[in-house]
Amino acid sequence: MCGRTACTLAPDEVSRASVYRNRGGRRRQPRWRDGDADKYRPSYNKSPQSMSPVLLSGRHFDKDAAVDECVLTSMRWGLVPAWFKGKDPSEMQYSTNNCRSESILQKKSYKDPLIKGQRCVILADGFYEWKRQEKNKQPYFIYFPQSQEKTKAQDDPTTSSGNEDNSEAMYSKVQASPELTEEEDAQGEWTGWKLLTMAGVFDCWTPPGGGEALYTYSVITVNASPNLQSIHDRMPAILDGEEEVRRWLDFGKVKSLDALKLLESKNILTFHPVSSLVNNSRNNSPECLQPVGPNSKKEPKPTASSRMMASWLKSSAPLKRKEQDTCERKKDKERKPTGGLQGVSKKPRTTRRT
């Protein structure tokens, strides 16, 4: 199950964090579909019906584009089938926020877009899940370990899946490549948060009376991995690494039945408990992600993961980061090298992401 996510990166940061390799192994930075960057709003607490950043093949919008060319778009969470006859998507009598991988070919709402190759990757800092307890539910924030080497899961279900020391290794960087354009190289390496990549299907619905087409998606779920089973029995289908993302999106080369083989329970995520503030979707602040002790609003004894999270939350707001980043790049072009640290530009989020 996946009913709440967080994605706090500004639009340009999402693009820089989503650098990928095409079939030829060349590095590419996806561009936002025209106008869609303005539809997306960073949030610490995203619920269904909100707009989220989604990565997909550019051929869905341009038949002449290479099938392995990726683009970013904003889509509404909660799939509205193309064949839906109602005038308002809110009239739908069933939930399509998630779809089970086991039954995706049995339900028309999901089977039709899957067969058409309408596969997408939902991007997020991570997702929330609630663990049932005697008197209440304890929310957890679940995400990729923020180091280059995958963290091995441990048997203790009350802690994160990863080796805490590994998270202190800190933030692998997306290396610049000669294959990137000059504009992409100018933006520099991405040293931010490693975004979670969740498999999904999408569809396009047009109002019966005409109007703007609405793109919506559903998150595909699988059985929970061993380290998450104590929290919930389901989890989003995670695509681990560039190759899995590429194969999931490459509908021209990878047929639907082969793509479904990528949807497995993967024991690769880490997590920490968070405040019950996240229970209310109207709460949208850094406190939603702040590590706390289970069943408490107090911060626990610091660990490598919690220190990393605290550093992340202390950074400036997403939209302001974008302004600062743009300003810094302009200053870098104007600044003459003077040697030593004076010629080094400030990277505002190297202590926070990836």
Cα→Cα distances 294→43, 164, 236, 260, 314, Å: 23, 18, 23, 36, 22
Tokens for 249?
Answer: 């999106």
Q: What is the pLDDT of residues 313-329, one digit of tens each?
A: 565 455 444 444 444 44
157 phi and psi angles, rounded to 5 deg: -75, -5
* Cα distance between residue 125 and residue 195, in whole Å: 5
Q: What pLDDT digit, counting tens, does each position of 37-80 carry? A: 999 999 999 999 999 999 999 999 998 888 789 999 999 999 99
pLDDT at residue 125 greater than cutoff 60:
yes
Write the CB contacts of 32 (distance below 8 Å, at least 6 apart in sequence). 11, 15, 71, 72, 73
In the annotation, is 129 catalytic?
A: yes
Residue type, 36: D
Report DSSP state, residue 201: E
- Structural domains in the chain, sorted by start: 5-332 (3.90.1680.10)
Higher model confidence: residue 213 or residue 152? 213
Asked whether the whole model's pTM tops 0.85, one would answer no
Number of Cβ atoms within 10 Å of the Cβ of 21: 16
Q: What is the mean pLDDT of residues 325-350?
A: 35
| The pLDDT value given to residue 83 | 93
Confidence at 213, pLDDT banded by 50, 70, 90 = very high
125 DSSP 8-state letter: S
Is 180 in contact with 18 (CB distance < 8 Å)? Answer: no
Percent of all residues in the chain with a pLDDT value above 70, rounded to a whole number: 71
Taking a C-beta distance cutoff of 8 angstroms, is the pair 250, 20 a contact? no
> So what's the pLDDT on residue 339?
31
What is the C-alpha R_g of the chain?
20
The DSSP bridge partners found for residue 123 are 197
- Rounded CA-CA distance 46/232 in Å is 19
The dihedrals phi and psi of 35, each to the nearest 5 degrees, come to 85, -15
Binning pLDDT at 50, 70 and 90, where does residue 295 land?
A: low
pLDDT: which is higher, 211 or 41: 41
**SS3 letters across 138-182:** EEEEEECCCCCCCCCCCCCCCCCCCCHHHHCCCCCCECCCCCCCH
Q: Which residues contact 292 (CB under 8 A, 6 or more apart)?
A: 273, 274, 275, 298, 299, 300
Check: CB of residue 174 under 8 Å from CB of residue 190: yes
Confidence tier at 162 by pLDDT (50, 70, 90) = very low
Q: Give SS3 for 6.
A: strand
Q: In terms of Cα–Cα distance, which of 25, 27, 332, 352 is closest to 187?
A: 332
Coil vs helix vs strand at 89: helix
> DSSP assignment, residue 353?
B
2 a catalytic residue: yes
Over range 342-352, report the average pLDDT: 31
The yes-or-no verdict on residue 129 having pLDDT over 80 is yes
Q: Tell me, what DSSP letter sits at residue 212? A: -
Cβ neighbourhood burial of 340 (10 Å; 0-12, 13-18, 19+):
exposed
Out of 13, 99, 120, 129, the active site residue is: 129
**178 or 249, which is more confident:** 249
pLDDT at 251: 92
The span from the CA of 60 to the CA of 50, in Å, is: 22
Query: Average pLDDT over the chain, rounded to whole?
Result: 78
